[in-house]
Amino acid sequence: MGRDPMTAVDLKAFIRDIPDFPKKGILFRDITPLLGAPPAMQEVERRFVEAWKSQNLNAVAGVESRGFIFGTMVARGLQIPFIPIRKQGKLPWTRLSESYALEYGEGVLEAHDDAARPGDRVVIMDDLLATGGTAAASARLIERLGAHVVGFGFVVELGFLGGRKRLGNTPVVSLINYE
């Protein structure tokens, strides 16, 4: 029987577990071994491009900073523009801002006010889906630009944290899921 092309490379084998980082009791899922393995990165790109190629997208948005890595490769693979979603104060042009709750305080994300056009179909990419706060804020920001969020893409999902629930019915593609 032939090998399923969607599982040709075991991406989970490229994730390093680091106990007690950044603080005791946390098991950190480190993607740097994946970033250092060109065949794994090619597989990540292939899987995301395959997942989104039939969605008539106008752009891919990536959340600072690791979302830039995966978002730009998917945008290149689909031959569509990339939209950077950055932390507050990093963008030079006129911009929209969106606040969201963090564990101890508040974060602010921004995008240029001309990053997307009304009616654009956008997928939002990041490396990790945990509680969903950053992804949900990114979606609100894209929607405030007048665009439609078609879906989310994550390399790793920490399913036990329930972040997917905060994203409503919008499709989520996660390549590695830790329940």
Q: Measured on CA atoms in the order 63, 66, 68, 69, is the torsion positive or negative? A: negative
- The catalytically annotated residue of 45, 46, 66, 140 is 66
Contact (Cβ atoms closer than 8 angstroms) between residue 31 and residue 44: no
Length of the chain as a residue count: 179
CA distance 89 to 32: 27
Residue 3 DSSP class: P
Digit-by-digit pLDDT tens for the chain (179 residues) are 344 444 579 999 999 999 999 999 999 999 999 999 999 999 999 999 999 999 999 999 999 999 999 999 999 999 999 999 999 999 999 999 999 987 777 999 999 999 999 999 999 999 999 999 999 999 999 999 999 999 999 999 999 999 999 999 999 999 999 99
φ/ψ (deg, to 5) at 49: -60, -45
Residue 14 DSSP class: G
User: Mind listing the domains of the chain with CATH numbers?
Assistant: 27-85+116-178 (3.40.50.2020)
* C-alpha dist (Å) from residue 23 to 135, 141, 156, 160: 23, 31, 20, 19
- The catalytically annotated residue of 3, 103, 106, 179 is 103
Report, in angstroms and rounded to the nearest whole number, the Rg of the chain calculated over CA atoms: 16
Name the pTM for this structure. Answer: 0.93
Is 45 tagged catalytic? no
